[in-house]
């Protein structure tokens, strides 16, 4: 007796596996780096990866069903990782315990999540949203790839020293993805990332650079409560986490607006508030579950743009896969065998798409002499801070150091400030506000 597989079911399965591959690449890197920064053991890092998979699946499922309802993966945030790296460097220099830092960051992430609910219930979020104009969103989408480029290229090369065999596998995956996405048509083009991951991982295994699988303990493991320790209040850390959470709103606005524009639909105010509430809830869970706090992955927009697959069914299947995988400790060990250089190569392709989205955002602005100064000064400031030695900001308080040494934060603040000063009351700014603010009672969103 022959078992017939419906063609749509087969496509959904392949698309969901492709989403899964991208989700793994997005989910693994940040927990790994955070675990190493906090001095966690390999077993603790494996557990962190396992918990991250579970929560990424659960939060993304909430977003696609009751939040913004777009196919956007909610992943551990790169800006949150930057905050952790900066704080860890400060604490190490002061001789303070990283265990204490973990407990203080737990409190900061919980407070950051609660702040989102305050913004929604007080209506302040609508006033904040008007700040994120095409110039601000474009600056974020251009500046983020530029700031990540060094990390990604360094990761593809192998870190501190060049790992040639790993680089060959990563370069092969990169070439396959780009070649298929440019030259192929139809179904093959939609699975370009899955093909690249498959070729790269197989080549890494054959070349002997695929990491070994870490042994696991137990069969099923539910996430523990406060694995990083119970919350400890520190005013500087709390302030830094709240500021980081507010600035990440630029990521939230840019990501959801870009997806809405690509899908030719409207992002209503109510829809945006629901998505922000889910992210706030996710950040509270991150504190409780010992995770890096979450943000909507802008790479998801690049993924949909590259593959042309915006169907929610494969995405929902992917989130269910992630939840299922996140229940088993062995999965953390297996996922840790995913070649890091390959993950960086996949992220480089997706970040390239984000850069293109940023240029598209800029094209929506007038780009007159004022706009050029706003964009140029903001991007040059953000990139330039990358090359400023950390000790330059040593005379300032801990919270101020965190803000001043983060190029993405300073670039965004520069852009928002300059636009308020140089374009206050102008017709262009009024039009931008109108385009980026949705009134209650808008027509039913097509994504819903």
Dump pLDDT digits (tens) for 376-402.
Answer: 999 999 999 888 887 888 788 766 776
More confident residue, 151 or 171: 171
Q: What is the pLDDT of residues 296-330, one digit of tens each?
A: 887 788 778 877 788 888 999 999 999 988 888 77
CA 254/CA 139 separation, integer angstroms: 10
74 beta partners = 296
Residues 446, 296, 138: CA angle, nearest 5 degrees: 85
Q: Which is nearest to 251 in space by CA: 419, 403, 80?
A: 80
State the pLDDT at residue 201: 87
State the pLDDT at residue 171: 93
State the pLDDT at residue 108: 92
Give the rounded percent of residues in the chain with a pLDDT score beyond 70: 87
In the predicted model, what is the mean pLDDT of residues 292-296? 89
State the pLDDT at residue 7: 60
pLDDT at 175 over 90: yes
- The winner for highest mean pLDDT among 44-53, 58-67, 219-228, 391-400 is 58-67
Q: In this structure, are residues 108 and 84 in contact, taking their beta carbons and an 8 Å threshold?
A: no
State the pLDDT at residue 335: 67
State the pLDDT at residue 441: 37
Q: Which is nearest to 360 in space by CA: 425, 302, 439, 447?
A: 302
Least confident of 252-266, 298-312, 411-425, 431-445: 431-445
Average pLDDT, the chain: 81
More confident residue, 217 or 2: 217
Tokens 């992220």 sit on residue: 347
Least confident of 208-217, 315-324, 344-353: 208-217
How many other C-beta atoms are found inside a 10 Å radius of the C-beta of residue 334?
17
pTM of the model: 0.72
pLDDT at 247 over 90: no
State the pLDDT at residue 62: 94
State the pLDDT at residue 215: 62
Q: In this structure, are residues 203 and 246 in contact, taking their beta carbons and an 8 Å threshold?
A: no
In the predicted model, what is the mean pLDDT of residues 404-414? 83
Q: Which is nearest to 317 in space by CA: 47, 10, 5, 66?
A: 10
pLDDT at 68 over 50: yes
CA 12/CA 7 separation, integer angstroms: 9
State the pLDDT at residue 83: 76
State the pLDDT at residue 63: 93
pLDDT at 87 over 90: no
More confident residue, 404 or 215: 404
DSSP letters spanning 198-221: HHHHHHHHHTT-SPPPPP--SS--
In the predicted model, what is the mean pLDDT of residues 89-94? 70
pLDDT at 110 over 90: yes
pLDDT at 429 over 70: no
Local confidence band at 446 (pLDDT 50, 70, 90 cut-offs): very low
**Residue 297 has which token pair?**
């992955």
CA 167/CA 173 separation, integer angstroms: 10
State the pLDDT at residue 3: 43
Q: In this structure, are residues 114 and 108 in contact, taking their beta carbons and an 8 Å threshold?
A: no
Which of helix, strand or coil describes residue 296? strand
State the pLDDT at residue 217: 59
pLDDT at 442 over 90: no
Q: What is the pLDDT of residues 5-42, one digit of tens each?
A: 456 777 888 888 888 877 877 777 778 778 877 877 76
**Phi, psi for 41 (deg, rounded to 5):** -75, 165
Q: How far is CA 379 from CA 56, 88, 414, 445, in A?
A: 31, 26, 9, 34
Residues 231, 57, 310: CA angle, nearest 5 degrees: 135
pLDDT at 428 over 70: no
């Amino acid at each position: 007796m022959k078992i017939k597989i419906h063609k749509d079911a087969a496509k959904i399965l392949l698309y969901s596996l492709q989403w899964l591959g991208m989700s793994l690449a997005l989910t693994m890197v940040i927990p790994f780096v955070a675990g190493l920064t906090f001095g966690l053991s390999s077993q603790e890092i494996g557990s962190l990866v396992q918990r991250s998979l579970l929560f990424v699946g659960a939060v993304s499922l909430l977003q696609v069903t009751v939040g913004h309802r777009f196919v956007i993966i909610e992943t551990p945030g790169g800006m949150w990782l930057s905050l952790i790296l900066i704080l860890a460097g400060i604490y190490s220099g002061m001789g303070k315990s990283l265990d204490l830092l973990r407990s203080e960051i737990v409190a900061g992430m919980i407070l950051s999540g609660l702040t989102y609910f305050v913004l929604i219930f007080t209506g302040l979020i609508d006033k904040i949203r008007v700040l994120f104009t095409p110039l601000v969103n474009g600056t974020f989408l251009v500046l983020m790839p530029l700031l990540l480029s060094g990390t990604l290229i360094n990761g593809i090369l192998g870190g501190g020293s060049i790992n040639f065999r790993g680089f060959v596998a990563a370069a092969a995956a990169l070439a396959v993805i780009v070649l298929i996405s440019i030259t192929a048509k139809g179904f093959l083009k939609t699975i370009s990332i899955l093909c690249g991951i498959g070729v790269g991982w197989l080549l890494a295994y054959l070349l002997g650079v695929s990491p070994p699988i870490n042994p696991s303990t137990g069969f099923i493991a539910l996430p523990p409560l406060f694995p990083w320790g119970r919350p400890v209040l520190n005013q500087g850390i709390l302030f830094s986490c709240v500021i980081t959470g507010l600035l990440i709103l630029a990521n939230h606005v840019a990501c959801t607006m870009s997806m809405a524009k690509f899908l030719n639909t409207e992002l209503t105010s109510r829809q945006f508030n629901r998505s922000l509430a889910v992210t706030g809830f996710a950040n509270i869970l991150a504190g409780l579950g010992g995770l890096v706090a979450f943000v909507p992955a802008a790479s998801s927009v690049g993924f949909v743009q590259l593959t042309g697959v915006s169907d929610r069914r494969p995405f929902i299947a992917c989130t269910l896969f992630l939840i299922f995988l996140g229940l088993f400790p062995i999965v953390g060990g297996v996922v840790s065998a995913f070649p890091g250089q390959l993950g960086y190569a996949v992220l480089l392709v997706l970040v390239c798409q984000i850069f293109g989205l940023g240029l598209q955002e800029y094209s929506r602005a007038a780009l007159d002499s004022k706009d050029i100064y706003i964009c140029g000064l903001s991007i040059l400031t953000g990139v330039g801070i990358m090359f400023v030695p950390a000790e330059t900001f040593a005379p300032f308080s801990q919270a101020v150091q965190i803000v001043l040494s983060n190029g993405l934060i300073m670039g965004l603040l520069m852009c928002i400030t300059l636009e308020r000063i140089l374009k206050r009351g102008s017709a262009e700014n009024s039009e931008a506000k109108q385009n980026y603010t949705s009134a209650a009672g808008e027509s039913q969103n097509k994504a819903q």
